A and B are shown apart, each in its own frame.
Chain A
Amino acid sequence: MSLQEGTTSAGGPIIGTHGDGPAISTRALRKTFRRFDLSQVVAVEGLDLEVPAGGVHGFLGPNGSGKTTTIRMLLGLARPDSGEIRLFGEPVPQRLPAVVARVGAIVEQPKFVPSFSGRRNLEVLASAIDVPRTRVDEVLDQVDLRERARDPFRRFSLGMKQRLAIAATLLKDPDLLIFDEPTNGLDPAGIRDVRATMRRLGDEGRTVLVSSHILAEVQQVADTVSIVARGRSVASGSVAELVRGRGQVRVVVRDVPAAHALLTARGWRVTREGGALLVAGVPDPALVNETLAREGLFASEVGTVRDDLESVFLELTAHVGTGGTDRVPGVAQVRP
C-alpha cells in the first residue's frame, strides 16, 4: 500500500490537533453482558480513558480486557450501563450524530456487503454522508486499491479488506480514526503498510486510536498509550514516560543465594537469570552495588537493563491476569 500525501475532501482544517481538549474521554465507563444462563459478565469496569487530540494513541490490553467493547461504545454500537463518554467534548451516544462525521473507525474485521464490489461499498457509504463520488477514487488511490476495486468484497484478501476499511474511514476525512487490532491476519508487508498509515495520519495532526495486544506494534507507532486490564485502566501516558524508571539492574555475584536474600530484604523485586540477578524497582544501580558491598558481597558486573513496553505491560497486568475470562464471585470479566 503506497499511501500518498493526505488529501482532504472538504478542504477544511484538521481540527483535532495537539493542544485541544482530549479527542476521547471516558469516565467510570461500565458495560456488562448477560449470558444465556443469565449470569452477568463484566466487560468494562469503571474505565477512565483520555486520548489527547493529535498523534497516535495505543490502547493496549490482553485479549478479553474490554478494548473492543470500549471502542464499540465509543461508536454507539454498544450502550454503556453507566459512565460517561465524550468525543471532542460531545457526550456519546446522545450527541454522536454531531461528531460522527469527524470519526472513522474499523472495529475488529472489516465488514461490508459481501456481494458488492469494493468500489460499490464505498460509493454507498459516500452517498450516505453526502460525499462526492470523486472522493471514492481519491481514497482508493490512497490505499492503492483502485485496480481491484471492481472485485466483489467477498473475494478480497484480508489485507485488501483492511485497506478497503481504511479507505472507508478516510471518506469522511476524519479528525479521529479508531483502529481495532488493525494488523490482525496481515502479512508482514501489510502490517508495515498499516503501521505507516497510522503514523502518517497521526503526523498529519489527526488523532489515531489503535487498539492492540501486540506491544511492539504500539511501541513503534504510538506517542501515548493507555493500558487496560479486566476492563480497567491500569496506566496511561507517553510511551517514554511509562518505560522510564522501570529499568532493571543486572548484577553478577559469586554467592547468588546470599545476594538474592539481601536484595529481597531491601524490598526490591529480584529474579534469577542464569548466574545473574535482575533487580527491579531500584531508583539507582549504585544502590545495589553499595548494598552488596556493605555485606561483603562484591559484584563482578553491574549494569542497567533497559525496559520496554512489553515488560511494563506484563508487570502492570500480571496482578490482574491476562485471560480476562476467569469468573469472580457473582460476575465475570470476558471479552464478549
Chain B
Amino acid sequence: MSPLLRAELLRVRSRAVVWGTAVVLVVAALGFVVAAWDDTRPPSAGALAQAREELATATARWESDHAGWVEVCEQTAERDGEDLHVLCDPLRTPPTLEQVLPYRPALVETLEHRYPPMAVVVLVGLLVMGVTLVTADFGSGAMGTWLTFAPRRGRVLVSRLVAALAAAVPVALVALGTALVGIVAVVAVNGATGDAGGAAGVVAVATARALAAGLWAVAVGVGLAFALRVGAGVAGLVVWWVAAIESALPLLVPAARGVTLATSLRAWLEGGTTYGVEECVGGADVPPVCAVVEHVVSPVQGAAALLVAALVVLGLGAVSFRVRDVP
C-alpha cells in the first residue's frame, strides 16, 4: 500500500462525514424495520374482536346463501367451460377467521418488499458522503496543503477515490445489516416467519445489488466533487439533471427513457425493468396506428450504462483537477 493511500485511509477513518453518514443510514434502516413490524404484527384484541364479529356475520350469511351461490357458480362454470372445482369449491366451505383478518406477509415476502428499497437510501447517502469527502477539503483549503505534500494530482484523486470506496463498504453494510437483522427480528417476534425458504437468496441478491449501487454512487460523488469542487455546485447539477434529463427529456423524447440513469438503476436493482414507448405505423394513405411498445432493459445493460456514467464523471473530475488551479 502506498503511503498516500495509507494516509487517505487514515484520514477517511477520522472524517465526521463518514460516521455521520453511517448514523443517518442506520436511522433510515430502522424506518424499514418499523415498516416491516407494522406489516407483520399480530392483530390487536380490538381488531380480533371486530374480525370475529365479521366472521359471525359472514358465517351466518354463508349458511343461509351458500347453496344458491354454488348453484349459480356451477352454471357459470359449465357455460364458460371452466374448472368446476377450482371455481366453486371455495364456496362450499365456511369462511375462516384468517380470511377476515388483515393480511400478514411471511418473512420472504416481507424481505422482498421491505429490504431492497434500502438500496436507494444507501445510494443517496453514499453519494452525499463521496461528494463531501472531497468538497470539504476544497472549501477549507486543506486540499492545497495536501498538494504541497503530495503534488501528483492523479495519484491524489485515485487514492481519495479508493479511500472513499473503502469507507463506503462498512457504512453500507452496517446500514443494510441493520435493516436485515431488524426485519428478520421483528418478523420472528411477530410470529410471522412462515416458510423461510428462499430468504437467503433474496437477501444475498439484494445486498449485492445495493452495495454495488452504493459504491457507484460514491465514485460518481467523488468525480462530481473533483469536477465542481463546491457542494452547492454538485447539488445544483444533480437537481438540474433529475429535472431536465431524468424527468423532462423522456416526456419530449420517449425513447430517451431507455438511457436515463433512473432506468439503468432500476434495471440493476430490480434485476431488469421495462419501459414503454408509443410507436406508430402508417403511410400517406393509411391512418397511423399507434401502440405502446415495451422495451426491456436487462440488469447487465443497466450496470453497463451506470459504469460508463461513472467513468465519464470521474474522467471529467480528473481533467478538472489536473488543469485548474487549487485554492
Measured CB to CB, the residues of A under 8 A from B are 72, 75-79, 93, 96-97, 100, 103-105, 107-116, 120, 123-125, 127-130, 168, 172
Structural contact, B7 and A127, CB atoms closer than 8 A:
yes
Closest 6 A-B residue pairs measured CB to CB? A111-B141, A128-B7, A127-B7, A130-B3, A78-B325, A124-B11
A89 smallest CB distance to B (angstroms): 17
Mask, B101-122, CB within 8 Å of A = 1, is 0000000000000000000000
B35-43, B148-156, B168-176, B249-257 - interface stretch: B148-156
Bin chain B's interface residue count: 20 to 34
B240 within 8 A of A: no
**A76 to B151 Cα, complex, angstroms:** 7
B60 within 8 A of A: no
Structural contact, A128 and B146, CB atoms closer than 8 A:
yes
Task: Kindly list chain A residues whose C-beta atoms are within 8 Å of the C-beta of B7.
Answer: 124-125, 127-128
Structural contact, B325 and A79, CB atoms closer than 8 A:
yes
B295 within 8 A of A: no
17 contacts between A and B (CB under 8 A): A75-B147, A100-B148, A105-B148, A107-B144, A113-B140, A115-B16, A116-B11, A120-B14, A123-B10, A124-B7, A127-B10, A128-B7, A128-B8, A128-B146, A129-B150, A130-B3, A172-B149
B326 within 8 A of A: yes
Task: Kindly list chain B residues whose C-beta atoms are within 8 Å of the C-beta of A114.
Answer: 140
**A76 to B323 Cα, complex, angstroms:** 11
List B residues 1-48 near A (Cβ within 8 Å). 3-4, 6-8, 10-11, 14-16
Task: Kindly list chain B residues whose C-beta atoms are within 8 Å of the C-beta of A78.
Answer: 325-326
Task: Kindly list chain B residues whose C-beta atoms are within 8 Å of the C-beta of A79.
Answer: 323, 325
A64 smallest CB distance to B (angstroms): 17
Task: Kindly list chain A residues whose C-beta atoms are within 8 Å of the C-beta of B149.
Answer: 100, 125, 128-129, 172
Structural contact, B10 and A103, CB atoms closer than 8 A:
no
Structural contact, A72 and B325, CB atoms closer than 8 A:
yes
B93 within 8 A of A: no
Structural contact, B3 and A128, CB atoms closer than 8 A:
yes
Whether A128 contacts B4 in the complex (CB less than 8 A), given A77-B325, A111-B140, comes out as: yes
Of chain B, the residue at the smallest CB distance from A120 is B14
- B326 partner, pick from A77, A97, A113, A123, beta carbons under 8 A: A77
Structural contact, A128 and B147, CB atoms closer than 8 A:
no
Number of A-B contacts defined by CB within 8 Å: 80
Task: Kindly list chain A residues whose C-beta atoms are within 8 Å of the C-beta of B242.
Answer: none
B137 within 8 A of A: yes
Task: Kindly list chain A residues whose C-beta atoms are within 8 Å of the C-beta of B136.
Answer: 113
Structural contact, A109 and B326, CB atoms closer than 8 A:
no
Task: Kindly list chain B residues whose C-beta atoms are within 8 Å of the C-beta of A97.
Answer: 151-152
Task: Kindly list chain B residues whose C-beta atoms are within 8 Å of the C-beta of A112.
Answer: 140, 142, 145
Given A124-B14, A127-B7, A128-B149, 9 more A-B residue pairs with CB atoms under 8 Å apart are A75-B147, A100-B149, A111-B140, A111-B145, A115-B14, A116-B14, A128-B4, A128-B7, A128-B150
Structural contact, A100 and B142, CB atoms closer than 8 A:
no
Structural contact, A124 and B151, CB atoms closer than 8 A:
no
Task: Kindly list chain A residues whose C-beta atoms are within 8 Å of the C-beta of B142.
Answer: 111-113
B186 smallest CB distance to A (angstroms): 36
**A180 to B148 Cα, complex, angstroms:** 14
Whether A115 contacts B151 in the complex (CB less than 8 A), given A124-B7, A168-B145, comes out as: no
With most chain A CB atoms within 10 A of its CB, the pick from B10, B145, B152 is B145
Task: Kindly list chain B residues whose C-beta atoms are within 8 Å of the C-beta of A127.
Answer: 3, 6-7, 10
Of chain B, the residue at the smallest CB distance from A92 is B151
Task: Kindly list chain B residues whose C-beta atoms are within 8 Å of the C-beta of A77.
Answer: 144, 147-148, 325-327
List B residues 125-164 near A (Cβ within 8 Å). 136-137, 140-142, 144-152
Structural contact, A76 and B4, CB atoms closer than 8 A:
no
Task: Kindly list chain B residues whose C-beta atoms are within 8 Å of the C-beta of A130.
Answer: 3
Of chain B, the residue at the smallest CB distance from A69 is B325
Structural contact, A96 and B6, CB atoms closer than 8 A:
no
B212 smallest CB distance to A (angstroms): 29
Task: Kindly list chain B residues whose C-beta atoms are within 8 Å of the C-beta of A108.
Answer: 141
Task: Kindly list chain A residues whose C-beta atoms are within 8 Å of the C-beta of B148.
Answer: 75, 77, 100, 103-105, 107
**A75 to B7 Cα, complex, angstroms:** 21
A6 smallest CB distance to B (angstroms): 20
**A103 to B148 Cα, complex, angstroms:** 8
Of chain B, the residue at the smallest CB distance from A123 is B10
**A156 to B16 Cα, complex, angstroms:** 18
**A75 to B143 Cα, complex, angstroms:** 13
Structural contact, A100 and B151, CB atoms closer than 8 A:
yes
Task: Kindly list chain A residues whose C-beta atoms are within 8 Å of the C-beta of B15.
Answer: 113, 115
Task: Kindly list chain B residues whose C-beta atoms are within 8 Å of the C-beta of A115.
Answer: 14-16
Task: Kindly list chain A residues whose C-beta atoms are within 8 Å of the C-beta of B16.
Answer: 115
**A96 to B16 Cα, complex, angstroms:** 32
**A114 to B6 Cα, complex, angstroms:** 20
Task: Kindly list chain A residues whose C-beta atoms are within 8 Å of the C-beta of B323.
Answer: 79
